[in-house]
Amino acid sequence: MNEQLHRDAMLENVALYALGVLPREDVALVVAFIANDAAARKEYDDLRAAADSLAHVADEPVDSARSARMRERLMVQVRADAADAQAPFAGRRRANAVYPAWLWGTGLAAAAAVIFSFVTVVQDVALRGDLASAQRRSSTLQSQLAQAERIGTHDRQALTDLVSPGAKRYDVAGGAVVVRGDRVYLTLTKLASLPKGRVYQAWTQPKGATAMVPSVTFNPNADGVAVIALPVDAGRLAAVALSVEPEGGSKAPTTKPTFVRPLT
């Protein structure tokens, strides 16, 4: 009964993850559950499809002036980038240009011919000011996001791998070794908490080798969950193992391994 209640609670969390409302601290537990349970993966796929479809609701008309302004901002940068790629030695000048040459040319021609009205010129200047301001805002935003992206990329890759239907799963006690491409993870959900001074240590056995190579040490969270990316090329591995070791890790296992899992 308790097992079923726990499972129902976890499936509700799978729905939260599919919708994108799960807090970061709960993700490891839910991803490990999805990674280790075929029915949960099916549920996740179904609910994620429903959740993803919600994006269509946001596909609404954008004010035409705003749409044109955004397009202009974007294409200025894209055309400059494309031109830089074709003429790398002229790159610096182009990279610093806020507006394409044709825009300046248009302004000069208009001034020379005295065709445009004063109002038009004022609007043109205002537009350039808006563009420059938008360009500065965009630059600041991009530097802020670059920091977040560096942190997030690794996590996003791991999460993607773990819930992927195409990942290979090798069951172990309380979890699985998950392999996708050249990446390998441990997803463990029932690890006992360890006394102070002791840690779990992962071990990897390269193909053709007889000895285990020490890998990362870790402690599970309060729920006994650990989702660990092993820093090794999965294609070169014959087996993965886990043991309990002194803090700081060991060069060779000093206790009987919790598991030794051949990747076959």
Partner 1 sequence: MDPGVRLMERIRTRDTTAFEALYDGYHRLVFGIGLRMLGDPTMAEDLTQTVFLKIWTTPDAFRGGSFVAWVSRVTRNRALDVLRSRAVRPEAEIPADLPLEGALDDDVFRRLDAQRVRDALALLPPEQRGLIELGFFGGVTHQELARRTDTPLGTVKTRIRSGLRRMRETLGDRVSR
Interface with partner 1 includes 250 (CB under 8 A)? no
Q: Is residue 5 a contact residue for partner 1 (CB under 8 A)?
A: no
Nearer Cβ to partner 1, position 16 or 216? 16
Q: Cβ closer to partner 1: 93 or 156?
A: 156
Identity of the amino acid at 136: R
Say whether residue 182 binds partner 1 (CB under 8 A).
Answer: no
Q: What is the 3-state secondary structure (H, E, C) of 167-228?
A: CEEEEECCEEEEEECCEEEEEECCCCCCCCCEEEEEEEEECCCCCCEEEEEECCCCCCCEEE
145 binds partner 1 (CB under 8 A): yes
Per CB under 8 A, 132 contacts partner 1: no
Choices 162-170, 223-231, 244-252, 255-263; region in contact with partner 1 by CB under 8 A:
162-170
Instruction: Tell which residue, 36, 47, 46, has the closest CA to residue 7.
Output: 36
- The least CB distance from residue 245 to partner 1, in Å, is 30
Size of the site for partner 1 (CB under 8 A): 66
Question: What's the min distance (Å) between Cβ of 200 and partner 1?
Answer: 24
How far, in Å, are 97, 135, 259 from residue 37 at the CA level? 54, 47, 19
Q: CA 236 to CA 208: how far, in whole Å?
A: 9
Site for partner 1 in 76-105 (CB under 8 A): 77-79, 81-82, 85
Report the 10 Å Cβ neighbour count for 244. 20
> How many angstroms separate the CA atoms of 48 and 67, rounded?
30
Position 21 contacts partner 1 (CB under 8 A): yes
Site string for partner 1, 46-65 (x = CB under 8 A): xxxxxxxxxxxxxxxxx---
Measured between alpha carbons, how far is 239 from 21 in angstroms, rounded to an integer?
Answer: 36
Q: Is 144 in the site for partner 1 (CB under 8 A)?
A: yes
Q: Which is nearer to partner 1, 136 or 207 (CB)?
A: 136
Q: Which of 187, 179, 156, 165 is nearest to 236 (CA)?
A: 179
Q: Which is nearer to partner 1, 138 or 255 (CB)?
A: 138
b or e along 31-59 (b: 16 or more beta carbons within 10 Å of the residue's beta carbon)? bbbbbbbeebbebbeebbeebeeeeeeee
Under the rule (CB under 8 A), what is the footprint of partner 1? 9, 11-13, 15-24, 26-27, 45-62, 66-67, 69-71, 73-75, 77-79, 81-82, 85, 134, 137-138, 141-142, 144-145, 147-149, 152, 155-156, 159-160, 163-165
